[in-house]
A = this chain, B = another copy of it.
């Protein structure tokens, strides 16, 4: 029985990592759709979100079933509880990728991102996707040190995000209000996406150590 339970726990981790992989792919494609003004790619990301939402529901159901049937304690209970929180984080990451794709779609055939902030979005997109990929690996390795490092890696996203606002609020911004609003909201979506990857790391540390996560970022 316990062995079957451990198998179910491992399966749950596998499902989480797979779900996180879907969010990685969604943000990667959303960024490409944004930078290359690719309408069909943007629509693909938007349509695919139902898959991520469905995974969230299934993981929550599976975790709930484990709580009812196995009444886990200690580290196993922490793992089950953390899984529900992590699935919710990944679901939000998917939703944020959809927001990016939606802006790309809304402005098509124009490009939502003016030339002067293009490099900044390419950078933030790459950093965010990389963070999510690390979160995905950590969901399988359960390595608390790698999980804790996600927080440090997020600093690069925050620096790029601040740089974006410097460009945006510069007196030389000539792309108008509509474009400035798009850029500000897009920046926020990337920043939040990366924050959720950090939250996943925090949960993995919690599982491994039993300590409640203590740091909190007000993003």
Taking Cβ atoms with an 8 Å cutoff, the residues of A that contact B are: 49, 53, 57, 60-61, 64, 67-68, 71, 73-74, 77-78, 81, 84-85, 88, 95, 98-99, 165, 168-169, 173, 176-178, 180-181, 184-185, 188, 212, 216, 218-219
Contact = CB atoms under 8 A, between A and B. Distances in A.
Given A49-B218, A88-B85, A212-B61, A177 B188 contact: no
Contacts of A169: 177-178, 181
Given A168-B177, A184-B184, 9 more contacts: A61-B212, A64-B77, A67-B67, A84-B85, A85-B88, A88-B88, A169-B178, A181-B181, A184-B185
A141 to B, nearest CB: 24
A49 B165 CA distance: 25
Given A99-B218, A180-B180, A181-B169, A212 B81 contact: no
Contacts of A188: 185, 188
Contacts of A53: 216
6 contacts: A64-B78, A68-B74, A81-B84, A88-B88, A181-B181, A181-B184
Contacts of A178: 169
Nearest to A46: B218
Nearest to A214: B57
Nearest to A70: B71
A120 to B, nearest CB: 15
A168 to B, nearest CB: 6
A62 to B, nearest CB: 11
